[in-house]
């Protein structure tokens, strides 16, 4: 039997937790890289802690990456760790580049040194399209990032392509559009809205302060998207893929679906707050997942409405306890 050992950076994040679950079900030995903190942040992986192995490391520290790979001896590396919140990338642009851009090179160099046969997945992002030059966005659409985060992801994307072409590594880049879940961080708009709706319904909060309600995103379910990451590493040849639903919705539509779930009128609770506007906005994202469907046989399963309702229900349950 082929040895199946995965090493996941960012295992404590939304995607890392779903990917770890998915790979365990496939029979993988799963290692996760975690950075040291004064308090543990293992909430999302608490239910699988006895099935995975954690190794300390940080994308800022090349030596820690090398020794983590030597210890885990993985066959696949999923590089999900990043400073992933777009507004923070304006507040901490240099740190964002260190994690989200140069961190990818550190990981690739470590793989080259430890075992160039390791298959590598890089978490690229639809934020690379930014001020979009083509709609819908495909693997061929040129990038025009609009935030330090988007710029850093473009670097991470191209260094992955470059290592594939320079050193013949099996290195792929998944260009994933926004994907959400009940495990999404509370500052991202979907979770901020579903958490806010639950709090308002339970009388814990009266208003929900938001920024640009006209922005459009192609939102899918994180549980579906981690399967696509795995599929990319099971192909005969390495390649890059857009992973998206092919549908786009405004923030306002998201708000409506969430408030409808609990029978409340959003217009009575949502307050527009300029503090949540961005220095440069990404107005419209809609991905074309045709290549992923054709070559990976991947399609999203959970609809936008189902996902938002699932998130509202989960926040209601959590806050009612």
Known catalytic residues are 125, 127, 149
Is position 41 an interface residue for ligand NAP (rule: CB under 6 A)? yes
Cβ distance 102 to 159 under 8 Å? no
Nearer to ligand F7E, 278 or 291 (CB): 278
Residue 227 CA to residue 5 CA, distance in Å, equals 16
Residue 241 CA to residue 293 CA, distance in Å, equals 10
Contact mark string toward ligand NAP, 52..91, x via CB under 6 A = ------xxx-------------------xxxxx-------
Q: Residue 92 CB, nearest distance to ligand F7E (Å)?
A: 14
Residue 159 CA to residue 148 CA, distance in Å, equals 17
Q: Which of 131, 192, 291, 309 binds ligand F7E (CB under 6 A)?
A: 192
Question: Which of ligand NAP, ligand F7E, none does residue 93 bind (CB under 5 to 8 Å by kind)?
Answer: none
Six-digit token string for 14:
């939304």
Residue whose tokens read 């903190």:
37
% helix, strand, coil for the chain, step of 5: 45, 15, 40
Three-state DSSP at 176 gives: strand
Nearer to ligand F7E, 29 or 191 (CB): 191
Backbone phi, then psi, for 209, in 5-degree steps? -95, 120
Is position 218 an interface residue for ligand F7E (rule: CB under 6 A)? no
Q: Which of 211, 293, 295, 313 binds ligand F7E (CB under 6 A)?
A: 211
Residues that bind ligand NAP (CB under 6 A): 9-10, 12-16, 35, 41, 58-60, 80-84, 99, 123, 125, 176, 178-179, 185
């Amino acid at each position: 039997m082929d040895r199946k050992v995965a090493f996941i950076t960012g295992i404590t994040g939304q995607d890392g937790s779903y990917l770890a679950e998915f790979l365990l079900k496939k029979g993988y030995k799963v290692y996760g890289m975690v950075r040291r903190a004064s308090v543990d942040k293992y909430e999302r992986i608490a239910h699988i802690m006895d099935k995975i192995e954690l190794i300390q490391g940080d994308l800022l520290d090349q030596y820690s990456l090398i020794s983590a790979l030597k210890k885990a001896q993985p066959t696949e590396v999923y590089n999900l760790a990043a400073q992933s919140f777009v507004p923070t990338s304006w507040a901490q642009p240099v740190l964002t580049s260190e994690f989200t851009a140069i961190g990818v090179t550190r990981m690739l160099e470590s793989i080259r040194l430890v075992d160039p046969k390791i298959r590598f997945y890089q978490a690229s992002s639809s934020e690379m399209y930014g001020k979009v030059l083509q709609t819908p966005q495909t693997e061929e659409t040129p990038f025009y990032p609009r935030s330090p985060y988007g710029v850093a992801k473009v670097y991470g994307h191209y260094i992955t392509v470059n290592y594939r072409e320079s050193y013949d590594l099996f290195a792929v880049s998944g260009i994933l559009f926004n994907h959400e879940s009940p495990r999404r961080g509370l500052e991202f708009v979907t979770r901020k809205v579903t958490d806010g709706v639950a709090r308002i319904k339970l009388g814990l909060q009266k208003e929900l302060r938001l920024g640009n309600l006209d922005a459009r995103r192609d939102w899918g379910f994180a549980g579906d998207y981690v399967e696509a990451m795995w599929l990319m590493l099971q192909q005969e040849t390495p390649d890059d893929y857009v992973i998206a639903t092919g549908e786009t919705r405004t923030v306002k539509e998201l708000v409506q679906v969430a408030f409808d779930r609990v029978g409340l009128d959003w217009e009575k609770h949502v307050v527009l707050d300029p503090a949540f506007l961005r220095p440069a906005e990404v107005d419209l994202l809609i991905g074309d997942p045709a290549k992923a469907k054709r070559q990976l046989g991947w399609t999203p399963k959970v609809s936008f409405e189902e996902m938002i309702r699932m998130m509202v229900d989960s926040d209601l349950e959590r806050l009612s306890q």
